[in-house]
Amino acid sequence: MSLVNQHTSDFSDYIDMFEKTLSPYIAKLNIGFDNVFQIISFDQYNAILDRLQNDFSELDYLAKERENNGNKYMVWSCHRYYRNFLSILANADFRANIDSQQKRSLQVISSVSTQPHTDYLRAMRTKPFLLLAGISGTGKSRIVKQMAFDSCPDNAVLRSDPTSPGNYCLIEVKPNWHDSTELLGYESKIGGDHYQLTPFVKFLAKAMLHPDVPFFVCLDEMNLAPVEQYFAEFLSVLESRTKIDGHIVSEPLIKASIFANAEYERDLKHEIFDVRIKEKDTNGLRIYEAELSPQESTAYERLKLHGLRIPDNVIVVGTVNMDETTHQFSRKVIDRAMTIEMNLPEGDPFMDFFENGSELAYRETPTSPSLYLATETKASAVVKELAVDNAEKTEWLKGEVAAFLTRLNGALDGTPFKVAYRVQNELMLYFFQLWLEDKAADWEKILQTSCDQILMMKVLPRIEGDGELLEKPLEELARFCEPYSNASKKIAEMKSRLEKSQFTSFWP
């Protein structure tokens, strides 16, 4: 009887422990909930619990298969039961009666935000150009498509294809790409003077029609061709982004004169927006099925006036497999991207594949665009906003960031891998995004996390070489990175490869 009845006849103690343990942590997030039982949405519950496990290491046990430690077991088991209960509600016929709860603002929390996903989201809000790098088959392209599904609004045009959202564009990079024409198109006289468009150009123009929707470009197998050659214009224009009248704008990828060219204009304005050809007249001129909508006409007038710029709702994600069949990245590319390494997770990932896999589908309540879209491009703007209510802390932050980068360059002395102002700018932007997630959080903790992530995304991917170049700098970096758990682990991995093969890099 003692063995059988060890959990008692009722679970009131379990429920009390579950509520008393999690509610204080939830209140710390400042998202409008202060009790775990206020959360009655399955998606929100998953998102919030993922965030708690990410921010508070003492709650790691919630992700384990079973926790046998008394109180922890009580919390863990109730967590599983409550999550299952919310899952049943989410699929019940009476779900509509409580859907209004999902209108609560979760600015930077989403059900796509598992711990790794929060890194992706925060990185793309820092800069809308990501590299997802790792071994083949880890789901890099799927993540991009999932974000598009999650954020796609209930719009007949954008949801016309059940297999691919209208705010998603997959572009397969080919090994023979050696200039930008495959992405940006080109002027041609074959078959008459015209400008040859590409899916990439059409997708950017389409994004102009839906400025409040995140649009995702997935450049699949991005390093099958030399990135510096076919992506040079984009890399340069990306650095010109600035905020004007509340919108982030860039210099043009394609000059306005192309769209204003009288010989190109008639066909361009229809082809850009995929208006189908009805027939050709006796002179060979194309006749289109419909005229442009007022919105499309306005967008084309903007193209004629300003050229094709990078819309501020477009995020470009390149997937990368680092092996002997691909091109290595130059420091120019690494310096302009936010790099995230993707490998199989620890534990039993192959069983998780069976148990936790899900189909990509549109959401009844799409995630907020604020999860994905940048709000600032310059550290100066961030400093100004931080200082409004935190002038003294902001002065402290400026000094700490400057000291961090000075010490970092000291550790990299004698190598070509020192960092400059771009890394400083993006460190401040990353800090700002973390601060927006929880303005009550400790600034020292936010800065430590930001420095660790910037080391992983911006600094360490630049480093490669033999023992003669890197033996001493890696020792210096190991000491420098001791306070930063992720970077410290990566440095140890790089040092191990250097000892074994006399060459090392960030990539396995």
pLDDT (tens digit, 9 = 90+) per residue, 464-480? 999 999 999 999 999 99
Q: Please name which of 172, 163, 225 lies closest in space to residue 198, comparing C-alpha atoms.
A: 172
Please, which residues have CB within 8 angstroms of residue 399's CB and are 6 or more apart in sequence? Answer: none
Residue with tokens 């600094």: 459
Of the segments 66-75, 250-259, 434-443, which one has the largest average pLDDT value?
Answer: 250-259
User: What are 340's strand-pairing partners?
Assistant: 132
The rounded mean pLDDT for the chain is 85
109 near 31, Cβ under 8 Å?
yes
Asked if residue 155 has pLDDT above 70, the reply is yes
Q: How far is 470 from 385, CA to CA, in rounded Å?
A: 40
Burial call 15-36: b when 16+ CB within 10 Å, e when fewer? eebbbebbbebbeebebebeeb
Q: Which helix (H) or strand (E) holds 316?
A: strand 314-320
The CATH 3.40.50 domain(s) of the chain lie at 125-182+211-248+308-371
Place of tokens 């710029």: 309
At residue 174, the pLDDT reads 94
Contact 314, 250 (CB under 8 A): no
Label residue 357 by pLDDT band (50, 70, 90).
Answer: low
Q: Is the pLDDT of residue 106 over 80?
A: no
In which band, very low, low, confident or very high, does the pLDDT at 28 lie, cut at 50, 70 and 90? confident
Res. 65 pLDDT band, cuts 50 70 90: low
Q: Are 316 and 171 in contact (CB under 8 A)?
A: no
**Which residues, including other chains, have CB under 8 Å from residue 23's CB and lie 6 or more apart?**
34, 35, 36
Among the ranges given (233-237, 255-259, 343-347, 369-373), the one the predictor scored with the smallest mean pLDDT: 343-347
Quick check: 103 pLDDT over 60?
no
Which fold would CATH assign to domain 125-182+211-248+308-371?
Answer: Rossmann fold (3.40.50)
Mean per-residue pLDDT, 212-239: 94
pLDDT at position 432 over 80: yes
Residue with tokens 């929060």: 118
Beta carbons within 10 angstroms of residue 202's beta carbon? 16
Mean pLDDT across the stretch 449-474?
A: 94
Let me know: does 361 contact 152? Beta carbons within 8 Å: no
Q: Of 107, 63, 44, which Cα lies nearest the Cα of 438?
A: 107
Decide: residue 391, CB within 10 A, 0-12 exposed, 13-18 middle, 19+ buried. Answer: exposed
Amino acid at 376: E
Q: What is the pairing mode between strands 242-244 and 464-466? A: unpaired
Instruction: Say yes or no to pLDDT of 108 above 60.
Output: no
pLDDT at position 354 is: 47
Could you tell me the pTM of the whole model?
A: 0.75
Please give the pLDDT value at position 230.
Answer: 93
Rounded average pLDDT over 101-109: 38
Q: Helical H runs in 412-480?
A: 421-437, 443-454, 467-480
Residues near 38 by beta carbon (within 8 Å), at least 6 away in sequence: none
Nearest to 371 by CA among 171, 223, 151: 151
125-141 mean pLDDT: 85
Q: Tell me how many degrees the CA angle 171-159-45 measures, rounded to the nearest 5.
A: 95
* pLDDT higher than 90, residue 388: yes
pLDDT at 6 over 80: no
Residue length of the chain: 508
- Residue 294: its H or E element: helix 294-306
Contact 490, 478 (CB under 8 A): no
* Better-predicted residue by pLDDT, 275 or 196: 196
- Which residues neighbour 242 within 8 Å (Cβ) at sequence distance 6 or greater? 248, 249, 250, 377, 378
Q: What is the 3-state secondary structure (H, E, C) of 473-502?
A: HHHHHHHHCCCCHHHHHHHHHHHHHHHHHC
Cα angle 139, 142, 146 (rounded to 5 degrees) comes to 135
Min mean pLDDT across 85-99, 160-174, 261-275 is at 85-99
Higher local confidence (pLDDT), 276 or 148: 148
> Residue 131 and residue 144: Cα distance in Å, rounded?
11
Q: What is the pLDDT of residue 201?
A: 97
Residue 441: burial class (beta carbons within 10 Å; 0-12, 13-18, 19+): middle
